[in-house]
Amino acid sequence: MFAGGKMKAGIVVIGGGPAGLAASLKASEYTDVMLLERDELGGILQQCIHDGFGNFIFGKMLTGPEYAEHFIERARDAGIDIRVGTTVLQVEGKKIVASGSDGILEIETKAIVLAMGCRERSRCQILIPGTRPAGIYTAGTAQRLINVEGVMPGRKVVILGSGDVGLMMARRLTLEGAEVEGVYEIMPKPGGLIRNVVQCLHDYNIPLHLCHTVVDIKGKKRLEGVVVAKVNEAMKPIKGTERFIPCDCLILAVGLIPENELSRQIGVAIDSRTQGPIVDERMETSVEGVFACGNVVHVHDLVDDVTIAGEIAGENAGKYAIGEFERIRKGKVIAGENVRYVVPQILRGMEDVTSYLRVEKEMENVKLIVSGKKTFEKKYRIVRPAEMVKVKVNADILTSNEVRIDVKS
């Protein structure tokens, strides 16, 4: 069947990962939805075979594929026009051009939900010197290779970066019989959740070297080893601390970047700190009728939060498409002391809102202060950059042109 050509849809959701699935499902309660996914439904969850997903939404620990399948089944039942293997090439206004083996789709829509997720920072983006042999992979690529494609990326592995993906891969590679020499982290604290440090590293006696980085890569055709070094407070390598580690595989878990090439094409304003679209509490971007959710907005720790954001975006895109949505952009949220970023960045100020924020540095016994029309305080035993802080704020505090959030002792 040739299913390409010109068509119309009430809402187009770009991306079929957890954010896009949730958005599509909610939006389908209002109007017809087309879901465009370049790969298969479920997105990155399909390669995250470990458990720990859905504690918040399902009350139990699911694996990535299980979590995804719950939504995929519902999306199929909801009559959503799902197009897998379909990549969006360009967006102009509300006209979308996508390409798949069915042909070129030219879709006119009323509302768009951006849910493209994020991508991994590469070796070059963090400027690791050295040669360019085979055997260097980002953690997500390695995860896909082992868990989905069924090939082993290496035998003796060094992992750079202790974010959750790096930690997961340390365990996964060990289980598959590889030797993980160690996990190296440039920061003085691990980048992932404590639970993952314990269950992925301690369980398997994998050493974690804080304040370390990779300063050289050796090997012509296949990786022969890396040089690691300690770093100083400015995160610069300290001369004399270099150590050569023979290995045939280097895994990089050095950060995720929201993937916003399409958002930029549409003209959506991007927050330089999150590197994602600036959104309000209904997940509407700076362009009317364009909504965004999930890791394309900011990198989340928990998929449950991605689903929740997807539902908000889907619901409001639905309302927008049927003309029951009023665009109001009133207040601004300021990331104050020890706050790296806050999402949403813009407030309509009409309903209660859950603010998501990341702190700059680890602090113990702190107060989170939301100051708007009124002031609201919440105490935290500990805050860490690795763990997103969620705080529910009542609407009456927010009805102000500027709301500021500080985290201080």
Partner 1 sequence: MNDKKIRKRIEKIAKKISKDIMVRVENRVVYLEGRTNSWEDYLKLGILAGKIKDVKGVVNNIDYPGKKKMIRKQGGKEKVGEADVVIIGAGVVGCAIARELSKYEINVIIIEKAEDVACGVTKANNAMVHTGIGEKMGTLKQRLCVEGHKMYERLCEELNVPYEKCGMWIVLTKDSLKFKIPSFLANFIAKRIIPFIILRRGKKLGIPMKVVKRKELLKEEPNVTKDALVAVYSPTYGITSPYLLTIALAENAIENGAKIMLNTEVVDVMVKDSRIKGVVTTKGIIEAKYVINAAGLYADEIAEMAGAREYTIHPKKGATLIFDKEYGNYINHSMSLLRLPRTEHYKGGGVMLTVDGNIQWGPTISEVEDKEDTSVTADEIEEIFSMFSPLLPHFPRAVIAYFSGVRAATFTEDFFIEASEKVKGFIHVAGIQSPGLTAAPAIAKMVVNILEKEIPLEKKTNFNPYRKKPVVFRELSIEEKKKMIEKNPAYGKIVCRCEHVTEGEIIDAIHGKIPALNIDAIKRRTRAGMGRCHGSFCLPKVAKILSREAGIPLEKVLKDGEGSRLFIGKAKCLLEEK
Partner 2 sequence: MSKAEFICIHCPVGCKIIVENEEIMGNECKRGEEYVIQEMKNAKRILTTTVFIEGEQRMLPVKSDGEIPKELIKDCMRELAKVKARLPVKRGDVIYKTSTGINIIATRSMEKKQE
Binding region for partner 1 (CB under 8 A):
2, 4, 38, 85, 87, 89, 97, 99-104, 106, 119-120, 122-125, 127, 129-135, 137-138, 140-141, 144-146, 148-155, 176-178, 215-217, 220-222, 248, 261, 264
Q: Which of 384, 398, 404, 407 binds partner 2 (CB under 8 A)?
A: 384
Tell me the number of residues near partner 2 by CB under 8 A: 31
- How long, in residues, is the chain? 409
* Residue 379 interacts with partner 2 (CB under 8 A): yes or no: no
- Three-class DSSP category at 12: strand
Taking the C-alpha atoms of residue 244 and residue 246, their distance in angstroms, rounded to an integer, is 6
* Residue 49 interacts with partner 2 (CB under 8 A): yes or no: yes
Nearest approach, Cβ of residue 20 and partner 1 (Å): 15
In terms of Cα–Cα distance, which of 274, 266, 227, 279 is closest to 250? 227
Crossing angle between the packed helical segments 64-77 and 303-321, to the nearest 10 degrees: 20
- Segment contacting partner 2 by CB under 8 A, of 102-110, 112-120, 141-149, 252-260: 141-149
Q: Which of 84, 194, 238, 322 binds partner 2 (CB under 8 A)?
A: 194
Q: Which of 202, 222, 236, 264 binds partner 2 (CB under 8 A)?
A: 202
Report the partner that residue 382 touches, choosing among partner 1, partner 2, none (CB closer than 5 to 8 A by kind): partner 2
- Three-class DSSP category at 84: coil
Per-position x/- string for 66-85, each x denoting binding to partner 2 as judged by CB under 8 A, each - no binding: x-xx----------------
Q: In sequence order, which ranges of 269-374 are alpha helices (DSSP H)?
A: 303-321
From first CA to last CA, the distance across the chain in angstroms is 63
Give strand pairing partners of 136: 250
Report the partner that residue 264 touches, choosing among partner 2, partner 1, none (CB closer than 5 to 8 A by kind): partner 1
Residues near 173 by Cβ (< 8 Å), separated by ≥ 6? 142, 146, 154, 157, 180, 251
Q: Which of 3, 89, 198, 235 binds partner 2 (CB under 8 A)?
A: 198
Q: Which is nearer to partner 1, 60 or 222 (CB)?
A: 222
- Segment contacting partner 2 by CB under 8 A, of 23-31, 174-182, 208-216, 340-348: 174-182
Report the partner that residue 197 touches, choosing among partner 2, partner 1, none (CB closer than 5 to 8 A by kind): partner 2
Nearest approach, Cβ of residue 162 and partner 2 (Å): 14
* Residue 197 interacts with partner 2 (CB under 8 A): yes or no: yes
- Segment contacting partner 2 by CB under 8 A, of 104-112, 190-198, 210-218, 394-402: 190-198
Q: Is the Cβ–Cβ distance between 160 and 253 less than 8 Å?
A: yes
Q: Which amino acid is at 255?
A: G
Residue found by looking up tokens 């930029």 in the block? 264
Tell me how far the alpha carbon of residue 301 is from its chain's centroid: 7
**Six token digits for residue 21:** 């699935």
Q: Is the Cβ–Cβ distance between 295 and 302 less than 8 Å?
A: no
- Segment contacting partner 2 by CB under 8 A, of 90-98, 169-177, 243-251, 269-277: 169-177
Backbone φ/ψ region at 88: left (φ over 0), alpha (ψ -120 to 50), beta: beta
* Residue 148 interacts with partner 2 (CB under 8 A): yes or no: yes
Q: Is the Cβ–Cβ distance between 218 and 131 less than 8 Å?
A: yes
Report the partner that residue 395 touches, choosing among partner 1, partner 2, none (CB closer than 5 to 8 A by kind): none
Query: Could you give the dihedral angle defined by the CA atoms of residues 339, 341, 344 and 350, in that order, rounded to the nearest 10 degrees?
Result: 20
For residue 277, the 8-state DSSP code is: B
Q: Which residues bind partner 2 (CB under 8 A)?
A: 46, 49-51, 61, 63-66, 68-69, 146-150, 175-177, 193-195, 197-199, 202-203, 381-382, 384, 387
